[in-house]
Amino acid sequence: MKEKQPSQILFITAGTIIILGAFAKIFDLVYAPYIFSVGAALLIFIQGKKAFESKNLEHRQQRLLRIGLLTSLMLGVAAYLMFTNSNSWVVCILIYALSSFFQSFRGK
């Protein structure tokens, strides 16, 4: 079995924290935006690191990584909307999910 890289483990951890924060917000827990924000910040950091370290990749792959960074910023917007008690955070997560789904078919 192939060992996971630290960035993969961090990505899985960030995704799990985001899911936990979203479920906590659905159940109207007070600390849900904080949990979600931690996961979103981790994911934005990971996507940013990938996008800025991609100097020796093809133009298409660089573009996909930049799109991944921009769509991960939607999670930051969703976290802000959670703090303002707006229900529009769901739309931001939907945009992120659809974009990520699209990118999963376009990558590599």
What pLDDT shows up at residue 105? 87
pLDDT value for 88: 94
Q: pLDDT band at 27, cuts 50/70/90?
A: very high
Is the pLDDT confidence value at 60 over 60?
yes
Q: What is the value of pTM for the model shown?
A: 0.89
Give the DSSP letter string of 15-81: HHHHHHHHHHHHTT-TTHHHHHHHHHHHHHHHHHHHHHT-TTS-HHHHHHHHHHHHHHHHHHHHHHH
The label of the residue with tokens 């990971």 reads 46
The average pLDDT across 41-57 equals: 89
Q: Classify 100 as helix, strand or coil.
A: helix
pLDDT of residue 4: 67
Kindly tell me if the per-residue pLDDT of 62 is higher than 90: no
User: Are 76 and 44 within 8 A, CB to CB?
Assistant: yes
Is 70's pLDDT higher than 90?
Answer: yes
| 19, 40, 61, 85 from 16: Cα distances, Å | 5, 10, 26, 22
According to the model, what pLDDT value does residue 58 have? 86
